[in-house]
């Protein structure tokens, strides 16, 4: 029997069960959005909570704010890392200015901060701006 993974649609928030061998082309059964993207996706607080709690594929969150210089410097690097890690992890961004409750819930004390989640648990955390190769190495080693 083929192994399946639970993934939360980052567009509509619906939890989907996806066969592991079809991860690349999988689409949400509710809205049709591609489940695994090669781009960093901006999410809201509710979607982040649901994905962090349910997803079997590692979820890496960049907690950032528009006024933060290091966050703006890291944004293109985070996007490059998302391309490299497509199919191995999903990279998402959450604006802590727009969703301050996220900073409180996840104990974010400085930005940019990345947190890696897998199967409902936070596996690793890293603060400070990083280059794409360092982000990829961190995700592969820690999450």
Q: Is 71 a catalytic residue?
A: yes
Coil vs helix vs strand at 92: strand
- Judged by phi (left if over 0) then psi (alpha if -120 to 50, else beta), residue 93 lies in beta
Q: Residues 126, 138: contact at Cβ < 8 Å?
A: yes
- Among 9, 12, 28, 68, the one annotated catalytic: 68
Give the CB-side neighbour count of residue 118, counting CA atoms within 13 A.
12
Active site residue 68: yes
Q: Which of 9, 12, 28, 71 is catalytic?
A: 71
C-alpha span between 28 and 45 (Å, rounded): 19
- Give the containing element (helix H, strand E) for 123: strand 121-127
Q: Map 68-86 to HEC letters.
A: CHHHHHHHHHHHHHHHHCC
Catalytic residue list: 68, 71
């Amino acid at each position: 029997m083929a192994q399946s993974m639970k993934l939360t649609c980052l567009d509509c928030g619906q939890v989907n069960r996806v066969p592991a061998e079809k991860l690349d082309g999988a689409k949400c059964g509710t809205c049709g959005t591609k489940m695994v993207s090669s781009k960093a996706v901006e999410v809201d607080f509710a979607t982040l909570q649901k994905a962090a709690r349910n997803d079997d594929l590692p979820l890496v969150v960049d907690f950032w704010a528009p006024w933060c210089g290091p966050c703006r410097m890291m944004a293109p690097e985070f996007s490059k890392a998302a391309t490299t890690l497509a199919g191995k992890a999903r990279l998402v961004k959450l604006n802590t200015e727009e969703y301050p409750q996220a900073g409180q819930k996840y104990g974010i004390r400085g930005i940019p901060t990345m947190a890696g989640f897998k199967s409902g648990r936070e596996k690793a955390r890293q603060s400070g701006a990083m280059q794409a190769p360092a982000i990829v190495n961190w995700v592969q080693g820690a999450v």
